[in-house]
Chain A
């Protein structure tokens, strides 16, 4: 089963992602911020990561850079969950190593099809 690690500091968003993705047949782990996400990375061994940008302690960009700098999960696809659509954000996300992005509020179908595009 495809495993997903969802990183978001909003517990509403975490629950929402967990519910949506679990219903779609994914196995979901959640983390509260970038630091928590990096902590849980090994254990969760995700096939794909979804992360928010604005988070305390370590934001989404920092988290992505952390994942990419690691050894075991360096090439896992990472989707950025964002409310913004600006070009600047996309560039920044790409620069830090994001694979793609989803604009909040996400459309369930779109979210799942995007995930399926990125996992084997």
Chain B
């Protein structure tokens, strides 16, 4: 049995220790917010927070997540009103939307540490997230406006 703490709740999973967290979330716990995109940590669609750090869940064995705090999109906010989610809606970032959960998780991890990111900081933090529809400029702009919301909330 693998014991995980996800979005503050304990979960017991009867899965192989090497099963990537992504498939445990999606197939076992039916939390499908985190997406599959590449299975190699190349695209960021599966990004979750592990102790606050943006982490690619498709290459993280569940055994490596034991005893650590996992946050997924399902636990990011109660009502979808996290500053990053608000900024995403305000800037109408999403096109197909498939990669956006991963983008949002990477962006929140950045802003939790740095609420005054430069364009370079953003490019750096978001470099692992691919968006095929092409929403990068809006993501950058949404992160700047979310940063403003972060600072105002202080």
- Chain A complexes with chain B: no
Residues of B participating in the A interface, judged by any CB pair closer than 8 Å: none
Residues of A participating in the B interface, judged by any CB pair closer than 8 Å: none
